[in-house]
């Protein structure tokens, strides 16, 4: 996403009116600009301290010259440049779309027909690059932007003319490990030529088709070694047999061509023209080259950009006596009119988008005056409903903070999608850690993804505020980054037992632990049994192994013990079977379950048998919570929908982070990550849902509040907290 202009940013550069920041890196800042004709452009501006270095200026001049010589519909055209001006700059056409890396990370590998079309168009771009006598040398997913009409190759920052003497030192590897040819990996500069770009294209196509790097991950040295000595991992390329848009052999052809591109011997690789010819016929048509979910993702993220007040004026450009617009920004209607020649730039149904993609390698470095709160969540996988609720809750909190007249600084939102995958969680965390402006992260949204990401956040001492995950496996370790913004699963089990013994007046509950939901199930069970023993209430426990489909015999066994209530610790699907079994047996005593049961699957599969079940959760229904009335109203105005589950909890967590960032301000700057982690653990913050107080040693939420929901008329009805809670 774009960010606001900072006080030190210029108002214009090279005849372009600067509107917003698209990204920043160690070499400069990229702005969204508008030319005198009204056309939008991405304007790269070199940092002043680098402009005085002759070698860097020579490299930048070479980039301008190289990019200007490439004429292809699939390469971003240069629209203006000033390499010899006091502040060097380069303007290219603004591309409305995410990078290939972001698209694959967010939505998974592309289908075969999309990868073939991608390969054909990028090969055409490389053919133009090589025809201009240039070697790109950095073909990678971050340097390929996606649009509905095709990809765009960008960034000629380390490109050089064929046979040109490199400006880098001997032995220095220029490029990105994982997308380097063997000759680049070994720094054989005299061997670099067009075949090196073809090898990189092969790596890129393998990544697009599988979501994996063909030579694996790890340290740069390990990846470079495997690039030189090992065979690529091409498993999964063409697995869909060409997809709906291709013939049966399309997948095999793509895999074979990719393998040829990855030949160790440069002479054995096909050239760009041959690749383009062999993939002929995979041309885009109205966005059909991309799978629908990627097109929708582009449109969704475009709409989110347009919904933000992030196209800012600079104070010096305001007319005399004119009041600053809300948030200092240009209205969304004005943004929509920023097309070439005043034409309207709209978000089309096919997915044409005004969306500025901020790549990980363009994140603000230390010292940049821009800060953010991150959301690490499942935004497109099986848990996307909760993930998107997290994002919306945090977004609302940040927008309200930025609207305050007395704010000491603004905060942007940065998101990372792990799709609910523990394997992807580490990469998602790394993307947020690399953005030095991110000071705190809300998420991840599953316990498994917490396991995959916690080491990354811990190493960076980047605070991670956990709203949904509740397993206590982190609490016993000496982590400094995690902060539990909810009661642990154990506390929910304890709260359910308190409800049964004190309010429901049970005397002999049955307890069924379904290990399909472990570790949550056994932690709930432990909380229930501890509370029962403390209350001196006898109970009848049973445990079943993971994956057992038929729980009927266990239900019968427990009922035969003449229990007066039933506790099930397991997933929603198992609870549905238990509910049907209890209903068939005519059991009408109290029936309770943990948060994992409070899912639509329970209602759908249990039907009428779900009626009356009591569930203990860490979340509230803000529409039934009087204290959340203003939040609910603001949320509906902002998103034109009721708040989803965990939206208000994420809103609370974001405001907790904002509160400590503001309290910790020194010299107009918020606290750095490590100091913020300490401040958060010492904080006491009254949110909408509860009062936040933490154990300073392990970040555990000190309260043990358990919220109750009862199934009534086929819906989960919020009842409030268990008496004696927060």
Q: Where are the domains of the chain?
A: 12-293, 363-484+629-694, 489-617+709-721
Whether 363-484+629-694 and 12-293 are alike in CATH topology: the answer is no
Query: Is 549 in the active site?
Result: no
Topology given in CATH for the domain delimited by 363-484+629-694 = Rossmann fold (3.40.50)
Q: Which DSSP letter does residue 500 get?
A: I
- 635-645 burial, b at 16+ Cβ within 10 Å, e below that, comes to beeebeeebbb
Distances (CA, A) of 697 to 21, 219, 469, 474, 659: 39, 32, 19, 12, 21
Crossing angle of the two packed helices 112-131 and 194-210, in degrees rounded to 10 = 160
Distances (CA, A) of 52 to 26, 48, 49, 572: 15, 7, 6, 64
pLDDT for 321 equals 37
Mean pLDDT of 411-423: 94
Spatial strand order of the sheet with 16-24 comes to 12-13, 16-24, 28-34, 40-46, 89-93, 78-82
Q: How many helices (H) and strands (E) does the chain have?
A: 22, 24
Polymer length of the chain: 726
Crossing angle of the two packed helices 552-560 and 572-584, in degrees rounded to 10 = 50
d(CA 722, CA 708): 7
Return the residue matching tokens 């995959």: 452
Going through 355-422 in order, the beta strands assigned E by DSSP cover 371-377, 411-417
SS3 category, 80:
strand
Mean pLDDT of 629-658: 97
Number of CB atoms found within 10 A of residue 570's CB = 28
- In which region does residue 426 sit, left (phi positive, over 0), alpha (psi from -120 to 50) or beta (all else)? alpha
CATH architecture of 489-617+709-721: 3-Layer(aba) Sandwich (3.40)
Mean pLDDT of 527-551: 90
* Band of residue 359 on the pLDDT scale cut at 50, 70, 90: very low
d(CA 384, CA 401): 25
pLDDT for 20 equals 86
Tokens for 90, please give them.
């380069």
Q: Which residue has the higher pLDDT, 184 or 440?
A: 440
Distances (CA, A) of 191 to 80, 183, 230: 32, 6, 20
Tokens for 169, please give them.
């030192």
Q: Which residue has the higher pLDDT, 689 or 249?
A: 689
d(CA 636, CA 490): 33
Tokens for 452, please give them.
């995959």
Whether residue 548 is predicted with pLDDT greater than 90 in this model: the reply is no
Mean pLDDT of 575-596: 96
Give the residues across from 396 on adjacent strands: none
- DSSP-derived pairing of the beta strands 614-617 and 565-569: unpaired
Whether residue 345 is predicted with pLDDT greater than 60 in this model: the reply is no
**How do residues 474-503 score in pLDDT, each as one tens digit?**
655 678 899 999 998 988 999 999 999 988
The secondary element (H helix, E strand) that includes residue 92 is: strand 89-93
- In whole numbers, what is the pLDDT of the chain averaged over residues? 83
Mean pLDDT of 219-238: 88
Whether residue 312 is predicted with pLDDT greater than 50 in this model: the reply is no
pLDDT for 132 equals 84
- In which region does residue 507 sit, left (phi positive, over 0), alpha (psi from -120 to 50) or beta (all else)? alpha
d(CA 396, CA 394): 5
* Band of residue 608 on the pLDDT scale cut at 50, 70, 90: very high
Going through 459-582 in order, the beta strands assigned E by DSSP cover 464-466, 482-484, 509-514, 540-544, 565-569
Whether residue 504 is predicted with pLDDT greater than 50 in this model: the reply is yes
End-to-end Cα spacing for the chain: 38
Give the residues across from 566 on adjacent strands: 510, 591
Query: Which of 186-195, 417-426, 604-613 bottoms out in mean pLDDT, i.e. has the lowest?
Result: 186-195
pLDDT for 238 equals 86
Please say whether the beta carbons of 645 and 715 come within 8 A. Answer: no
Mean pLDDT of 160-183: 61
Name which of 509, 488, 702 is nearest 616 in CA terms.
488
Q: Which DSSP letter does residue 701 get?
A: B
Instruction: Compute the half-sphere exposure of residue 379: CA atoms within 13 Å on the CB side of its CA.
Output: 28
- Of the residues 52, 55, 138, 271, only one is catalytic, namely 138
pLDDT for 205 equals 97
Query: Which of 4-13, 84-93, 343-352, 713-722 bottoms out in mean pLDDT, i.e. has the lowest?
Result: 343-352
- 221-247 burial, b at 16+ Cβ within 10 Å, e below that, comes to eebbebbbeeebebeebbebebbebbe
Please say whether the beta carbons of 122 and 144 come within 8 A. Answer: yes
d(CA 314, CA 689): 38
- DSSP-derived pairing of the beta strands 28-34 and 16-24: antiparallel
CATH architecture of 12-293: Orthogonal Bundle (1.10)
Query: Which of 176-185, 294-303, 405-414, 698-707 bottoms out in mean pLDDT, i.e. has the lowest?
Result: 294-303
Distances (CA, A) of 250 to 113, 271, 284: 8, 20, 16
Return the residue matching tokens 């505020």: 465
pLDDT for 330 equals 34
The per-residue DSSP string of 39-71 comes to -EEEEEEE-HHHHT-HHHHHHHHHHHHHHHH--
Torsion 367-368-370-375 (CA) sign: negative
- In which region does residue 21 sit, left (phi positive, over 0), alpha (psi from -120 to 50) or beta (all else)? beta
pLDDT for 108 equals 87
d(CA 600, CA 239): 33
* Band of residue 442 on the pLDDT scale cut at 50, 70, 90: very high
The secondary element (H helix, E strand) that includes residue 30 is: strand 28-34
């Amino acid at each position: 996403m774009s960010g606001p202009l900072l006080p030190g940013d210029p108002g214009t550069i090279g005849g372009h009116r600067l509107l917003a920041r698209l990204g920043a890196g160690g070499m400069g800042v990229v702005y969204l600009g508008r030319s005198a004709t009204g056309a939008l452009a991405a304007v790269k501006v070199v940092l002043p301290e680098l402009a005085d270095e002759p070698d860097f200026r020579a490299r930048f001049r070479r980039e301008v010259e190289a990019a200007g010589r490439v004429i292809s519909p699939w390469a971003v055209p240069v629209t203006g440049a000033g390499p010899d001006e006091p502040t060097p700059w380069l303007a290219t056409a603004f591309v409305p779309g995410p990078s290939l890396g972001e698209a694959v990370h967010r939505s998974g590998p592309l289908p075969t027909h999309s990868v073939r079309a991608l390969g054909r168009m990028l090969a055409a771009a490389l053919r133009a690059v090589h025809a201009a006598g240039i070697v790109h040398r950095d073909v990678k997913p971050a340097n390929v932007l996606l649009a509905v009409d095709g990809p765009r190759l960008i960034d000629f920052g380390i490109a050089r003319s064929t046979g040109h003497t490199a400006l880098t030192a001997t032995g220095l590897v220029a490029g990105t490990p994982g997308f380097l040819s063997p000759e680049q990996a070994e720094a054989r500069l005299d061997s670099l030529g067009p075949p090196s770009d073809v090898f990189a294209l092969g790596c890129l196509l393998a990544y697009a088709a599988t979501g994996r790097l063909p030579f694996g991950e790890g340290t740069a040295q390990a990846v470079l070694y495997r690039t030189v000595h090992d065979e690529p991992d091409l498993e999964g390329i063409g697995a869909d047999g060409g997809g709906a848009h291709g013939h049966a052999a399309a997948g095999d052809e793509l895999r074979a061509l990719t393998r040829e591109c990855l030949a160790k011997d440069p002479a054995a690789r096909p050239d760009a023209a041959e690749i383009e010819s062999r993939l002929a016929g995979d041309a885009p048509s109205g966005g059909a080259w991309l799978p629908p979910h990627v097109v929708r993702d582009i449109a969704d993220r475009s709409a989110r950009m347009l919904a933000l007040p992030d196209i800012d004026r600079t104070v010096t450009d305001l007319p005399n006596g004119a009041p600053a617009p809300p948030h200092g920004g240009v209205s969304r209607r004005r943004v929509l009119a920023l097309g070439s020649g005043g034409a309207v730039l709209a978000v089309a149904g096919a997915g044409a988008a005004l969306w500025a993609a901020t790549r990980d390698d363009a994140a603000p470095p230390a010292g940049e005056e821009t800060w953010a709160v991150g959301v690490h969540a499942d935004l497109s996988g099986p848990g996307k409903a909760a993930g998107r609720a997290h994002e919306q809750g945090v977004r609302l909190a940040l927008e309200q903070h930025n609207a305050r007249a007395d704010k000491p600084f603004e905060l942007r939102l940065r998101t990372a999608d792990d799709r609910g995958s523990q394997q992807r969680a580490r990469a998602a965390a790394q993307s947020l850690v690399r953005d030095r402006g991110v000071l705190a992260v809300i998420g991840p949204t599953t316990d498994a993804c917490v396991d995959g990401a916690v080491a990354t956040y811990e190493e960076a001492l980047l605070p991670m505020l956990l709203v949904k995950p509740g397993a206590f496996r982190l609490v016993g370790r000496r982590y400094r980054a995690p902060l539990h913004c909810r009661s642990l699963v154990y506390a929910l089990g304890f709260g359910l037992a308190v409800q049964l013994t004190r309010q429901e007046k049970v005397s002999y509950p049955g307890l069924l632990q379904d290990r399909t939901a472990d570790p949550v199930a056994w932690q709930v069970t432990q909380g229930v049994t501890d509370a029962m023993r403390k209350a001196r209430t006898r109970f009848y426990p049973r445990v079943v192994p993971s994956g057992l489909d038929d729980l009927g015999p266990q239900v019968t066994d427990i009922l035969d013990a003449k229990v007066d209530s039933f506790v099930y610790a397991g997933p929603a699907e198992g609870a549905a079977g238990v509910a049907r079994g209890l209903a068939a047996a005519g059991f009408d005593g109290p029936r309770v379950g943990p948060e994992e049961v409070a899912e639509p699957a329970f209602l759908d599969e249990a039907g009428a048998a779900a009626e009356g079940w009591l569930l203990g959760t860490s979340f509230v229904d803000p529409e039934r919570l009087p204290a959340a009335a203003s939040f609910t109203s603001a949320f509906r105005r902002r998103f034109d929908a009721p708040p989803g589950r965990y939206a208000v909890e994420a809103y609370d967590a974001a405001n907790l982070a904002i509160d400590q960032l503001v309290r910790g301000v020194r010299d107009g700057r918020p606290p750095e990550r490590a100091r913020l982690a300490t401040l958060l653990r010492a904080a006491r913050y009254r949110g909408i849902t509860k009062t936040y107080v933490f154990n300073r040693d392990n970040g555990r939420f000190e309260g043990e509040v358990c919220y109750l929901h009862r199934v009534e008329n086929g819906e989960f009805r919020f009842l409030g907290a268990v008496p004696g809670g927060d």
